[in-house]
Amino acid sequence: MAKVFFISDLHIGAGNKVEEQPKLNRLFTFFQHINKPGNELFIVGDLFDFWFEYRHVIPKHSFEVFYHLHKLIRNQVTVHFLPGNHDSWIGDFFAEQVSMFVHPEMAAIERQSKKLLLFHGDGISKKDVGYRILKKVFRNPVNIFLYRLIHPDIGIPIAKLMSMGSRKHTAGKVLNDEEDYWNFALEKFQSGFDYVIVGHSHQPLLRQLGSQALLNLGDWIHHFSYGELNQGNLTLRYWNS
């Protein structure tokens, strides 16, 4: 039976080339591992540390990643993407040029007779009141249009600085947010979901309630963790290759 894999919070582009290459090498060996026709990969946000898609320009650090993702897709591995708080400013490049399936920020799917809710997880924490306000500002179509008027050589470095600040802010406060994520999952269990899969906190976690479970995917900065759905069983795994 084909398997379904889930990853989040890779934050590609967060460091310089020397810092990033070991992470990319490990990621590409993971892609080789899942490269079997019929498998699926869900990227649950923050694939990039920063993503902003101009009409004719995309960040250059993304090319190698898209090359390997496209190899998966050409071998009949279905690749899905849900936006995170660092890469929500997408246009049509993911879908039209790479052939990825782009979902809304929260997606309900059914696989292997299980109902799954996928969500990056930003804004779940009760302490994220300020972020929930900023989220509406950052994703406002008018503001996105205005930001595209800034030349990429200026706009991309500015956004990378903001992304770095956001990542450090998240890393400093998420350790006490597990109960907020669990309460979010409990509400979804009552709505009939078997599994709730999130990211954002960078803390890998599999917490179960009978046959239902909350999976936090961790990250590919420190933990190199991922989720796997095989014959209806959801597990938390670590890629150590």
Q: pLDDT band for position 50 (50/70/90)?
A: confident
Q: pLDDT band for position 62 (50/70/90)?
A: confident
CATH of the domain at 122: 3.60.21.10
For the entire predicted model, the pTM comes to 0.84
d(CA 199, CA 31): 19
Per-residue pLDDT tens digits for 110-160: 999 999 999 999 888 766 655 555 566 566 676 666 667 676 667 666 666
Domain count, the chain: 1
Q: Are 58 and 19 in contact (CB under 8 A)?
A: no
Residues 6+ apart with CB under 8 A from 10: 23, 27, 43, 46, 47, 48, 219, 220, 221
Domain assignment of residue 218, given as a range: 4-238
